């Protein structure tokens, strides 16, 4: 059914008919102040009644608000999400710079030692460092395996058949690095052309030197483009990047599986970076990019980790309810918080958790407990996350 424009008066009538309490000028002004979609449609979820609790005479195809719901509650959630985006974006932007710097350093550290003299002398030019021979263009085959214990990993290698210990048939994916390379190169040259017109220092550099070195190039690339560049680096370069990032809980020698998990973690950060930068709703955004449970102690950050590990050793089966809860937490904002945390030292991590928790507690003081608990659950923060992370 097509959505038609409705007047302000009609919007008030609709919301009241759905049990929202709008009885004061201040409450009416809140509805008027915001774009209806940005406030009501985007943030109504935690304030809606369960359809099983609808009054008998209520249309089951319409929203029904929990009794006592007011526009200011939705506004408080909207403003919380806005402040949360700013916190996350600040940390993600710093991480983006770390990754860009590590990528450039690692690329030159490896290829300067493993190239001919002529290649080394030209390696600062994009016409050289973007050549195909500097990148891994072989397909990467990845199996995502979920065990009955709830344990989950990414495994590099040929397709794995389902075994009795698996909860599902392993999900097999073939990453075509040659396609990623082709798309990345096209996007890079497009960005160079665009930024030459938009940013004077890029135009001046190209006019003076006729080339753009990688350490300048990464400044005009999106985080998404950089995440793709990481994916197609040769394994020795990826290894150096892993080491230079000095991640919390990192191994002295990463495995190929670890490098796949790092690529996925960078993709998660890139996804949320775009969400935050474009002012999209973030608190309940789900992530379906998988990090292996062994990577940087990821599984240990969940309250059921001991249970999962014990069952994995004995080939036992995690109960349906616990598995569903673990799956929900893995797909929630909590995984982003983990992804940020591994780049922080102890002092930075303490500040990061404090920044987020401060806004969570302010929201708690502003919302009815039922709706607040729904928000907390959607974020994956209905656990002892401050101590687990």
For the beta carbon of residue 186, count every other beta carbon within 10 angstroms: 10
Higher pLDDT, 4 or 315: 315
Q: What is the mean pLDDT of residues 344-373?
A: 98
pLDDT at 1: 43
Answer whether residue 2 shows pLDDT above 80.
no
Answer whether residue 305 shows pLDDT above 90.
yes
Q: What is the mean pLDDT of residues 66-86?
A: 97
Answer whether residue 3 shows pLDDT above 70.
no
Q: Where are the domains of the chain?
A: 8-69, 81-379
The number of helix segments (H) and strand segments (E) in the chain equals 19, 3
What is the sign of the dihedral through the CA atoms of 35, 38, 39 and 44? positive
pLDDT digits (tens, 9 = 90+) for 77-86: 999 999 999 9
Task: List the one residue out of 146, 95, 137 whose CA is nearest residue 291.
Answer: 146
Answer whether residue 310 shows pLDDT above 60.
yes
Least confident of 80-89, 159-168, 200-209, 238-247: 200-209
What residues have CB less than 8 Å from 253, skipping those under 6 apart? Answer: none
Average of per-residue pLDDT values in the chain: 94
Answer whether residue 103 shows pLDDT above 60.
yes
Cα separation, 230 vs 140, in Å, equals 13
pLDDT digits (tens, 9 = 90+) for 90-102: 999 999 999 999 9
Higher pLDDT, 196 or 243: 243
Q: In the structure, what pLDDT confidence band is assigned to residue 11 with cuts at 50, 70 and 90?
A: confident
pLDDT at 346: 97
Task: List the one residue out of 326, 240, 335 whose CA is nearest residue 296.
Answer: 335
Report the predicted TM-score, pTM, of the whole model to 2 decimal places: 0.93
pLDDT at 6: 65
Least confident of 68-72, 205-209, 285-289, 344-348: 205-209
What percent of the chain is predicted at pLDDT more than 90? 87
pLDDT at 88: 98
Q: What is the mean pLDDT of residues 48-64?
A: 93
Q: Is 135 helix (H, G, I), strand (E, B) or coil?
A: strand
What residues have CB less than 8 Å from 376, skipping those under 6 apart? Answer: 360, 382
Exposure string (b/e) for 288-324, b if CB count within 10 Å is 16 or more? Answer: ebbbbbbbbebbebbebbebbbebbeeebebeeeebe
Answer whether residue 62 shows pLDDT above 80.
yes
């Amino acid at each position: 059914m097509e959505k038609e424009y409705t007047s302000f008066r009609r919007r008030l009538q609709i919301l009241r008919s759905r049990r929202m309490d709008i009885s004061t000028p201040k409450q009416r002004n809140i509805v008027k102040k915001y774009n209806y979609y940005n406030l009501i449609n985007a943030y109504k979820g935690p304030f809606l009644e369960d359809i099983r609790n609808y009054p008998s005479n209520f249309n089951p195809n319409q929203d029904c608000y929990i009794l006592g719901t007011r526009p200011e509650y939705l506004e408080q959630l909207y403003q919380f999400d806005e402040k949360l985006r700013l916190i996350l974006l600040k940390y993600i932007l710093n991480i983006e710079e770390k990754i860009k710097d590590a990528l450039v350093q690692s690329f030159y550290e490896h290829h300067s030692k493993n190239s001919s003299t002529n290649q080394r002398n030209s390696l600062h030019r994009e016409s050289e460092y973007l050549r195909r021979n500097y990148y891994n263009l072989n397909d990467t085959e990845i199996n995502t395996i979920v065990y009955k214990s709830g344990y989950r990993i990414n495994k590099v290698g040929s397709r794995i058949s389902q075994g009795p210990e698996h909860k599902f048939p392993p999900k097999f994916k073939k990453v075509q690095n040659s396609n990623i390379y082709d798309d990345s190169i096209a996007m890079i040259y497009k960005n160079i052309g665009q930024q030459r017109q938009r940013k004077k220092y890029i135009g001046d550099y190209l006019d003076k030197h006729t080339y753009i070195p990688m350490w300048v190039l990464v400044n005009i690339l999106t985080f998404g483009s950089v995440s793709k560049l990481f994916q197609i680096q040769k394994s020795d370069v990826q290894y150096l990047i892993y080491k230079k990032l000095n991640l919390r809980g990192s191994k002295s020698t990463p495995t190929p599986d670890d490098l796949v998990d790092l690529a996925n973690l960078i993709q998660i950060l890139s996804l949320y970076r775009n969400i935050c930068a474009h002012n999209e709703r973030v608190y309940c955004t789900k992530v379906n990019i998988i990090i292996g449970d062994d990577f940087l102690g990821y599984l240990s950050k969940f309250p059921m980790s001991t249970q999962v590990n014990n069952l994995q050793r004995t080939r036992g089966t995690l109960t349906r309810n616990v598995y569903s809860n673990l799956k929900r937490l893995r797909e929630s904002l909590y995984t982003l918080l983990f992804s940020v945390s591994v780049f922080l030292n102890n002092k930075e991590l303490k500040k990061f958790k404090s920044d987020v928790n401060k806004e969570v507690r302010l929201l708690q003081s502003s919302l009815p407990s039922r709706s607040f608990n729904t928000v907390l659950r959607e974020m994956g923060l209905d656990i002892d996350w401050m101590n687990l992370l």
